[in-house]
Amino acid sequence: MMLDETAHGNELAFSCLFDELATQTYTVSMRILGSRGKADIATLQTWLWVWQHAASLNQTPSSAREKILTVALNISRSVNSTE
């Protein structure tokens, strides 16, 4: 439901998602990248992507947690491959 609300521009819903999953997205990024600086960048990119693409994320059947952590994983891999 929070992802659906985020897709409609609800900043409070986005904030709730962030509060619930920010530590987990950062942990995923740290494990992939091994650097606080790179993990910070990847986590920021993850949450920006979630805000901008919440509607498309909402189209798949998995949980918001699973979707957002997958985004974090993919972005971290992308950051890792460009450095």
Task: Give the per-residue pLDDT at 59.
Answer: 87
Q: Residue 75 pLDDT more than 80? A: yes
Q: Say which CATH architecture domain 2-82 belongs to.
A: Orthogonal Bundle (1.10)
Is residue 22 classed exposed, middle or buried when 0-12, 13-18 and 19+ CB atoms within 10 A define those classes?
middle
For residue 67, which of 40, 42, 49 has the smallest C-alpha distance? Answer: 49
Could you read off the pLDDT of 19-49 as tens digits, one per residue?
999 999 999 999 999 999 999 999 999 999 9
Could you read off the pLDDT of 44-70 as tens digits, one per residue?
999 999 999 999 998 888 999 999 999
Which residue ranges make up each domain of the chain?
2-82
Q: Is the pTM of this model over 0.75?
A: yes
